[in-house]
Amino acid sequence: MNWSLIIVKIKRGNFVSCIFFLLFVIIMSGAIISCRSSPRQPTTTSSTTTQTTITSTTTSSTSTTTATQPTTTTQTTQTVTINLEAQNVDFSEHTINVPALAIVTLNFTNNDSGLTHNFAVYTDSNATSLIFRGSDITGPGKVTYQFQAPQRGTYFFRCDHHPTAMWGTFVVQ
């Protein structure tokens, strides 16, 4: 075994490999230089910025502040005005109609000079159950009565001083 020859062979191998390595380095460096020297192309990276426009749908909460309107309770106590006259010992009206539970204003005029009349309401012609009795008025004179009508029904009115001559039907609707 000639050891000197082996060493030479190894050296030669190393030399060849060194040559290849150097060539590689030169080529690579050349490539790098060429890359750098080459004018950079404007890298048109079409950055399609997909603008996700978050349409903040501000659902304007329409605060429908339903103004609590004053509830006009239809439970209104109606008012009604009746004009009634007494003349020659007789009423001018023999049927009086009023709404149920209405506040009745009765303008009573007594045209009979020297005679006293009044206006009174009863449940019926028996005149035993009184609903309203107006004060006496001697003619000529005027008086205003005010009272609340009863529930629906047919009632009776009269002059307490002339019950057989002055009477009528008081109708509550």
Residues that bind Cu ion (CB under 5 A): 117, 159, 161-162, 166
Task: State which residue, 102 or 159, has the beta carbon closest to Cu ion.
Answer: 159
Q: In the complex with Cu ion, which residue's Cβ is closer, 112 or 155? A: 112
DSSP β-ladder status, 130-133 and 79-86: unpaired
**Residue whose CB is less far from Cu ion, 133 or 161:** 161
CA torsion sign, 10 to 15 to 16 to 17?
positive
Smallest separation, CB 115 to Cu ion (Å): 6
Q: How far is the CB of 93 from Cu ion (least distance, A)?
A: 14
Least Å from the CB of residue 139 to Cu ion: 9
Side-chain-side CA neighbours of residue 95 (13 Å): 4
Shortest Å, Cβ 112 to Cu ion: 8
For 2, counting Cβ atoms within 10 Å of its Cβ (0-12 exposed, 13-18 middle, 19+ buried), the class is exposed
Shortest separation between residue 151's beta carbon and Cu ion, angstroms: 27
Q: Which helix (H) or strand (E) holds 132?
A: strand 130-133
Nearer to Cu ion by Cβ, of 27 and 165: the residue is 165
106 or 166: whose CB is closer to Cu ion?
166
Q: What burial letters (b/e) apply to 141-155, b meaning 16+ CB within 10 Å? A: bebebebebbeeeeb
Q: Which helix (H) or strand (E) holds 3?
A: helix 3-37
Q: State the residue number with the nearest CB to Cu ion.
A: 159
Q: Which residues pair with 68 in a beta bridge?
A: none
